[in-house]
Structure 1
């Protein structure tokens, strides 16, 4: 049974670049770095068959498997023994060589017990023939160079193993899950923190795998531990919030909703159960369990600091926001149509709190405030609209609002010297001298000598530049008053 979270859809207007980059890195490594592995294996098998090492190792391998079955309780190796005996009966030299070469635990067993297994002459022959094959071919395989080998743990392989894969089925499966989970977690954490958390989950997953496979020479490869970490982070981010999950059982699939974090013990429990009871499947169950716990634990411990979820993550997608805005805006306009102005005002104010970037809402609030020009609210909305127009590089609208206010509200609630001065500057930039002079007269009437003097100098300079002598003299005389 497969259960994965499916709460979000991809927003291709803001692509998950880090997730896509990780996917591309895995593909590039698989194609251009691991692509030569099959040739190395073929060369190793060819050299192995030519050397006649099978006559030395095959009897030892059967004895090795029987010992593990009888004395170590490795019941899952019974099938391997039977398959190996069938290969021997059919004289399948190629596949026999593959079995003997690629069983790394058996190779270590031979190295440690060669003095017991063979005569001195056989030992010398084995070392002379097997050593070059290991050095020239097997040791150069990607999984042994950059894979995570518990018995030879190193810091760099805790990262590098995450980008290696064992075949097309392995990499395709991992990349599908990386995409399905990655775009959501990347959106929640941001690109940089997402990348660091992804790699850290993979490293912690590798450490858990190593703890349960101490002394093993079988390399771990694949991004599944890191991806399990994404699953843990995914459900920890949503916590008790109910989200949608996709499940697949046999040929049946569907969706269900459940508290996100409720799935964590289900996933971890399944991995631990499979580790103990599924037998030898080649799947690193404890790496998956470690990744799940690492991802969830990181969000819980660092969710208020380094791994804090971005505020905009829980906001609706743009299409949903637009639909909500359209619906609420229509309701407010309907109130206007019924002349329920107080209700319309409250509705537009509520809309503006959620959508402050939409100027149409401020314009409606300005028009409603204009119905009572004697109130301070009209002056405040006029100022807001003037500043908004200036911020959106619409100076004509700013001056228009100012002029309208002078005719309707200035006698009740006068604008400040700063307001008139801002209009004067804007008018001069737009070469609207008439509005600039009008703004100057309003500014002068406020009694602010400092702003008035500065504005007067600007007008003198502007009229002199335009060779309008009488106007320049008029304002120069005002400076001397």
Structure 2
């Protein structure tokens, strides 16, 4: 059963660049750095078989597996032993070679007990032939070179293992989940803190895994622990708020809503159950559990400080905003239809505060203010609407509103010279010289000499371009008197 949170939708206007960068890093490392692994392994197998080391080591390896089952309590090794015997019976030397070469604990066992396991000639031959293969080829494979080996942890491998993967399936699966979870957590934290939290979850995940696998020589690779950390952070940001989850069970899938943090113990419980009950699957369940705990812990402990979610993260999704706006707008229009102008004004003012990017709300406030052109509110709404039309590049609406104000409110509450000047520029862009001249007259009436000179030069130039010399000369003469 798979359960993943799916509350937020991706906004491609603000892409999750750090998530995409992490995905690219994993892909590039897998292709170009880990791309050498097949060649190294192939070369190691060839040398191993050419020198007949499989015939020397195979009997010892079978005894080694039986010993681990009997003395070390390694019950999972029974499957390995059965598979090994089947491979021997089938005569698949190359498969046997891969099995023994990639079993690092077996090599260490041979190295430590070669005096007991081999006679003098065998021991010398094995040392001269096998040890160089291990040191120069096997140890250069990415999992041993940069993976996290619980028996030999280091600060470097606590980070580097997070960018390695065991195959294309492992890589693609992790990249899908990294994207699905990463864009939401990155939106909450921002790219810098998101990267730090991602790596910290990976480190903590590795430490938990190391604690439960202490002494193991089998390397850990993959971003699963870090991605589990993203899942923990995701639900911690929402706390007990009900959010949407996607689930997949067999062939059936659907969505459900639940308190976000309530799913965290379900995830952790599943990983613990799989760890104790699933046996040897090659999946690092404790690393997943550690990542979940680390991610949730970072947010729950430091969520009001360093790892606090940005305000934009808690803003409702666009669809939810649209639904709320439609509801509130309908309420305001209903008050307007009843001619309850006081209530309508209050509701439209609230809408304008919450949705300053919706010009239709300001237009309603302007129309309501126009009912009392003697009040200063009409001038205020007119100025706001003129600025809105300038931003939206709607000169027709701008000129219409300006001329309407001249008729109703200019005599009581005059506009500033700069506002008339902006109308003049808009009229010139519309090639409406008549309105431009009217706006110039208003600028001139304000007594603002600098704006009058600037506007006069513009009109003189425009009339000159149209070869309307009498008009052009009129403004040139006017400029000389200023």
- Provide the TM-score with structure 1 as the length reference: 0.85
Partner of 1:440: 444
Cα drift, residue 174 of structure 1: 2.0
Question: CA separation in 1, counterparts of 2:254 and 2:209?
Answer: 32
Q: Which deviations, in whole Å up to 9, do the C-alpha atoms of 1:403-444 show, x marking residues without a partner?
A: 4334323454x247xx23442465368562432222332x24
Question: CA separation in 2, counterparts of 1:470 and 1:75?
Answer: 104
Q: Which deviations, in whole Å up to 9, do the C-alpha atoms of 1:191-219 show, x marking residues without a partner?
A: 44333332332233223323333333211
Cα drift, residue 338 of structure 1: 4.3
Is the contact between residue 421 and residue 440 of structure 1 (CA under 8 Å) also seen in structure 2?
A: no
| RMSD between aligned residues | 3.1
Partner of 1:115: 115
Partner of 2:124: 124
Is the contact between residue 420 and residue 442 of structure 2 (CA under 8 Å) also seen in structure 1?
A: no
Q: How does 1:72-471 map to 2 (within 5 A)?
A: 72-393=72-393, 397-398=397-398, 400-412=400-412, 414-415=413-414, 419-424=416-421, 427=424, 432-441=436-445, 443-444=446-447, 452-455=448-451, 458=454
Cα drift, residue 261 of structure 1: 0.8
Structure 1: give runs of 5+ residues left out of the alignment: 445-451
Seen in structure 2, the aligned counterparts of structure 1 residues 88 and 424 have a Cα distance that, compared at 3 Å, is closer
Question: CA separation in 1, counterparts of 2:197 and 2:76?
Answer: 36
Is the contact between residue 424 and residue 437 of structure 1 (CA under 8 Å) also seen in structure 2?
A: no
Question: CA separation in 2, counterparts of 1:23 and 1:40?
Answer: 25
Question: CA separation in 2, counterparts of 1:19 and 1:349?
Answer: 40
Question: CA separation in 2, counterparts of 1:471 and 1:55?
Answer: 106
- Provide the TM-score with structure 2 as the length reference: 0.85
Is the contact between residue 159 and residue 202 of structure 2 (CA under 8 Å) also seen in structure 1?
A: yes
Partner of 1:447: none
Is the contact between residue 143 and residue 221 of structure 1 (CA under 8 Å) also seen in structure 2?
A: yes
Cα drift, residue 77 of structure 1: 1.6
Seen in structure 2, the aligned counterparts of structure 1 residues 476 and 114 have a Cα distance that, compared at 3 Å, is same
DSSP 3-state at the match of 1:75: coil
Question: CA separation in 2, counterparts of 1:89 and 1:462?
Answer: 97
Question: CA separation in 2, counterparts of 1:429 and 1:46?
Answer: 80
Question: CA separation in 2, counterparts of 1:101 and 1:57?
Answer: 10
Seen in structure 2, the aligned counterparts of structure 1 residues 23 and 424 have a Cα distance that, compared at 3 Å, is closer
Seen in structure 2, the aligned counterparts of structure 1 residues 255 and 469 have a Cα distance that, compared at 3 Å, is closer
Q: Which deviations, in whole Å up to 9, do the C-alpha atoms of 1:365-414 show, x marking residues without a partner?
A: 111111112333222212322333344455665565444334323454x2
Is the contact between residue 231 and residue 295 of structure 1 (CA under 8 Å) also seen in structure 2?
A: yes
Structure 2: give runs of 5+ residues left out of the alignment: 429-435
